Amino acid sequence: MIPITKFTIRNNERRAVMSVLQSGHIVEGPVVKALEQDFVKYTGAKYAIAVNSGTAALHASLYGLGIKQGDEVITTPFTFIATVNSILMVGATPIFVDINSDTYTLDYSKIEKAITNKTKAIITVDLYGQPADYEEIKAIAKKYKLFVIDDAAQAISASYKNKKIGNIADITCFSLYATKNIMCGEGGMITLNNFQISEKIKRFKNHGQLPGEKYNYAELGYNYRLTDIAGAIAREQFKKVDFVTKKRQKIASMYDSYLTHIKGITVPTKKKDRTHVFHQYTIQITKEFSYSRDELRNLLKTKGIQTEVYYPKPLSEYAYLHAKGLKDSKNNSTLVSKQVLSLPIYPDLSATDIRYICHTIKYIANS
């Protein structure tokens, strides 16, 4: 079976973990500090704060911005559940705004209509690895005095108008979960430029204490610390981030060249002013294709090819989220959730496997 994703652990990660184990300091310490500095250098943001998941990064960021019960946060319903759960975690209400059907990111032209006097922030999601429309979204945020939080769990190393993701929104949240472009099993990172907010987040992730202020509890806190063991893996992975990105982009362009001309298949849209880091390579299967998306998925499975649907329905359809917004029944989120199909993509995916996948899709298309 060709899996949809596969992480790469080599000897440098193994050695780095061994060295932490032998150092006697396995919890958050010097290695995590160094990892934070790696992110500062790479993104150009002033501060980086490590946490133990992308979800924790989102939760801590919303808390850091003072978002609480009674507040509204605008976001996309076409994302991983953590984006929206983090809004509930601080007691605020998610307000869903539809996406563009070609880029899968927030349709900025629909944001203003969703703003009320309770709106405090917009969470953008750089879905599949391509940045959202930051110029337009930041202009709206400025006009209404809202914060922009970038859920960049899938977009490490991407850039927008020559600026790295991590230094575009007010706060950026990365995930280092096992399937992400670089990873350490479970982990997350927050980058930002505001000192006060960064101090608030540092307290929040460590029981309400600031570094060097043991047992001085200033406010509610959690234990969202990352271990040096995980940090050591993440640091080694981070050294390869540009290499990994190039590999993923190369795989994507190979897929593009094989699949572009197949009737009923839409290949990913790449915007010229930003880089797509292809956390996922996601095609759309439209009515012109000879089989339905789910039939194609099953046929590929019988041929030993794993695919996935990210995501099978918009989050606005889950009852517990008490969804607000997205009233248009013919919304893009619902439409694309029925058409998207993500194909295998990871740095070790061979050219032979890519050709096999594409030839199999072509064969199915013509059968």
**Crossing angle of helices 54-64 and 195-204, rounded to 10°:** 120
Binding mask 176-195 for ligand PLP (x = CB under 6 A): -x----------x-------
Q: How far is the CB of 334 from ligand PLP (least distance, A)?
A: 18
Q: Closer CB to ligand PLP, residue 17 or residue 60?
A: 60
Classify strands 281-285 and 340-343 as parallel, antiparallel or unpaired: antiparallel
Tokens 């300091």 correspond to 25
Q: Closer CB to ligand PLP, residue 64 or residue 188?
A: 188
Q: How far is the CB of 348 from ligand PLP (least distance, A)?
A: 21
Q: How far is the CB of 218 from ligand PLP (least distance, A)?
A: 26
Q: Does 7 bind ligand PLP (CB under 6 A)?
A: no
Q: Closer CB to ligand PLP, residue 54 or residue 268?
A: 54
How far from each other are the two terminal CA atoms of the chain, in whole angstroms?
22
CB hemisphere CA count around 220 (13 angstroms): 6
**Which one among 45, 82, 115, 321 touches ligand PLP, defined by CB under 6 A?**
82
Q: Which stretch binds ligand PLP (CB under 6 A): 77-85, 136-144, 343-351, 353-361?
A: 77-85
**Which one among 54, 77, 231, 314 touches ligand PLP, defined by CB under 6 A?**
54
Q: Closer CB to ligand PLP, residue 51 or residue 262?
A: 51
Kindly state the number of chain residues that form the binding site for ligand PLP, as judged by CB under 6 A: 14
Q: Closer CB to ligand PLP, residue 53 or residue 100?
A: 53
**Which one among 125, 169, 230, 265 touches ligand PLP, defined by CB under 6 A?**
125
Q: Does 61 bind ligand PLP (CB under 6 A)?
A: no
Q: Does 53 bind ligand PLP (CB under 6 A)?
A: yes
Cβ atoms of 332 and 99 within 8 Å: the answer is yes
Binding mask 138-177 for ligand PLP (x = CB under 6 A): -------------x-xx--------------------x-x
User: Tokens for 324?
Assistant: 């607000």
Q: How far is the CB of 263 from ligand PLP (least distance, A)?
A: 31
Q: Closer CB to ligand PLP, residue 337 or residue 360?
A: 337
Tokens 């430029």 correspond to 193
Cβ atoms of 42 and 164 within 8 Å: the answer is yes
Q: Does 289 bind ligand PLP (CB under 6 A)?
A: no
- Give the closest residue to 101 by CA, choosing from 341, 332, 276: 332
Q: Closer CB to ligand PLP, residue 82 or residue 165?
A: 82
Q: How far is the CB of 121 from ligand PLP (least distance, A)?
A: 15
User: Tokens for 349?
Assistant: 């995916």
**Which one among 78, 80, 96, 258 touches ligand PLP, defined by CB under 6 A?**
80
Q: Closer CB to ligand PLP, residue 188 or residue 325?
A: 188
Footprint of ligand PLP (CB under 6 A):
53-55, 79-80, 82-83, 125, 151, 153-154, 175, 177, 188
